[in-house]
Amino acid sequence: MNDAELASLLAGCARCPYPGAWQDSPFTERTVDGARYALVAVDPGLSALGVRRDDGSLWGLPEDGVPYLVNSGVEAFVAFNRAYEEAAAEAAVYEGPGDGPDEAEAVDLAEEAADALTEALVERFGALDAEAVADENSFWCVAAEELGYGMSV
């Protein structure tokens, strides 16, 4: 896949839960342990998201760390991003359990709703690209959990 095709696929992913800036085509390259990556998003001094040139998988590239898998392919990344945005929209309109329960019960109900949203999103991710969510500390598992944390009473 050339840089123009890659940029076209990633065009709608600017709301991805990655704090870096999305890059324009042609992409800068970085080589890590012999693998070449096209840097599609960069958080200067901290990390980058890179697409492996040899297989199209998307990786997190910490400045001083070991690369970690984000998605097995760009198409999966786009699908995850879409699923994440849908869940974020659902979380944004959550208004809590209503006026009935006391404060402690309301907090419990909000936490249950957040956990349900997180679990449903991770399950959806798993159906799209199981390898990307095989580790509970993976990029997308953490993003789903943090999305749930944002739901309040």
Q: How far is C-alpha 47 from the chain's CA centre?
A: 14
Residues of the chain with pLDDT under 70: 97-100, 152-153
30 & 79 share domain: no
Q: Are strands 58-62 and 47-52 parallel, antiparallel or unpaired?
A: antiparallel
50 & 115 share domain: no
How many domains would you assign to the chain?
2
122 & 67 share domain: no
48 & 110 share domain: no
pLDDT of residue 3: 96
121 & 58 share domain: no
pLDDT of residue 106: 73
Q: What are phi and psi of 55, to 5 degrees?
A: -135, -5
Decide which of 41, 71, 101 is a domain's last residue. Answer: 71
Decide which of 71, 99, 122 is a domain's last residue. Answer: 71
pLDDT of residue 98: 67
- The residue range of the domain holding 26 is 3-71
pLDDT of residue 97: 67
pLDDT of residue 111: 87
65 & 81 share domain: no
Residue from 111, 137, 148, 142 nearest 19 by CA? 142
40 & 81 share domain: no
H/E segment holding residue 119: helix 103-128
81 & 144 share domain: yes
